[in-house]
Amino acid sequence: MARMKVLVSDKLAEEGLKILREGDAFDVDTRYDLKPEDLKKVIGEYDALIVRSGTQVTSEIIEAASRLKVIGRAGVGLDNVDLAAATRKGIIAMNTPGGNTTSTAEHAFSLIMALARNIPQAHASMKAGRWDRSKYQGVELYGKTLGVIGLGRIGSTVAKFAQGFGMAIKAYDPFLSAEMAAKRGIAVSTLEEVIRQSDFITIHVPKTDETKGMIGEKEIAMMKKNVRLINCARGGIINEMALAKALEEKRIAGAALDVYDEEPPKADLPLVKIDQCVLTPHLGASTAEAQVNVAIEIAHTVRDALLGKGVRNAANFPSLDEETFKVLDPYLDLGDKIGKFSGQLISGGIRTIRITYSGILKKYNVMPVTMAITHGVLKPILSENINAINSLDIARERGIDVQEIQSNKDGEFVNCVMLEIVSDKETLEVWGTLSSNQKPRIVKVKDVYVEAVPSGDILFIRNQDVPGIVGVVGTALGNAKINIAYITFGREKTMAKAVSVVNVDSDVPSSVLESLRKTPGILFAKMLKVS
């Protein structure tokens, strides 16, 4: 098997590079500080790209990436990657949300303490030869309220640190239930309540269209006069001009920023001149431990994704832990093959793809299987580059409604996937499941029960349920020197019509197909390619 190529365009700890270079699967190139035009020229050679925050992976670069399967960011967030363009191109985009959690949380809490006790200002005063003991009187954290906006990994860790200092926690996170927060000793509040009632406010949300500028003049006006505001998440979440104005007018007590609208910020950034504002140059993940952790984590996730061993921490594909992947992996194969099988049988323009899951599949997030099925259905029809990552987007662009249903009924088959495709000409239903050795099987096509192997070259025949059809098919294939690997039959309940699914060792020539179609009793004959 040809070795895959991985490009690392931002500096990555050696521990991560070592993981990628182990074995004979990958060639790893480290080309740091590439200019955008140079990256665009070479990206077509690579199967994976690993970046930190320095490389901007734009739509132009993604469009030039003819081989790229994975973009991995060694760090939290993917704001330097055009996620929409990656998804359209069918490229998995993943990050390392856990690798720098402790480092970033510690830095945020360090800034909380620095603000509370005026440590940077007092330090600068001492260095200047002064003894301004009374000038830098601080406040205690004990008994104060910390407002946490975004209670993910980092926000939760900061909250835990703060609880150790005797602080009360109020948190705003629309995706966290009150029950889960209560287990952590945290009160879930509205954004306005957090803003109005907190003594310190720390921000830990990603930068999105919804969160950009979420703390502006209006929100700052609601805050206590003694509030101190901390941002170690992303620049642009706090309106820097509104913050500078509030600090200058002493409407809030202080602020600490590790991230900025523009990085590095311009020299004339107003916040630089304000004594009550503590600034650090995006140091949240800048610890030796974090650099190693994110390098190791991204190396493992990129390697596993390229080798088909599961996808974790992806922004445009459902993440599967190792245990879930073991369960769903054979169903991903089943989904792709049942999709390809059905996509080649359906006639007319597809309007709806409806997938019903039963049995053990009800316990899991089956979206990856849905994506695999959608890819399988559309792949034979569309000539463009399509895979599981972009299949739902492509379906949506074409007005195809993809529906996912979890069935609570006890069906005819255990752990079954039922695919229903509705076109402007017909409705096709195909049932699939796994054999005892975890191999894909098609067990029903419309009303006909079969035991078909969806693999390789398949001759699919619908015929009248009359004697002699099997002999005609066998003779025609024998005369064409085509070997039959498997053959399965099924009848409608009325026994008026039947289905034959014939796995063959090679393609059936069009002349043989035409001859079979003209045979009395054969209603439909088509070659299917199910790899």
Write out the catalytic residue numbers: 234, 263, 282
Query: Which DSSP category does 281 fall into?
Result: S
Instruction: List Cβ<8 Å contacts ≥24 apart for 444-448.
Output: 444/412, 444/413, 444/490, 445/345, 445/490, 445/499, 447/492, 447/493, 448/490, 448/491, 448/492, 448/497, 448/498, 448/499
Is residue 314 helix, strand or coil?
Answer: strand
Query: Residue 17: which of 314, 224, 396, 302 has the closest Cα?
Result: 302
Q: What is the C-alpha to C-alpha distance for residues 454 and 349, in angstroms, rounded to an integer?
A: 23
Beta bridge partner(s), residue 500: 461, 489
Helix ranges (DSSP H) in 307-461: 322-345, 367-378, 391-397
Is residue 260 helix, strand or coil?
Answer: coil
What is the largest distance, in Å, between two alpha-carbon atoms of the chain? 106
Q: What is the C-alpha to C-alpha distance for residues 307 and 320, in angstroms, rounded to an integer?
A: 15
Other C-beta atoms lying within 10 Å of the C-beta of residue 510: 9
Query: Which DSSP category does 272 fall into?
Result: G
- The four Cα atoms 46, 47, 52, 55 give a dihedral, to 10 degrees, of 40
Amino acid, single-letter form, for residue 45: E
Full DSSP string of 356-395 = EE-GGGGGS--HHHHHHHHHHHHTTT--S---TTTHHHHH
Beta bridge partner(s), residue 314: 94
Q: What is the C-alpha to C-alpha distance for residues 239 and 404, in angstroms, rounded to an integer?
A: 41
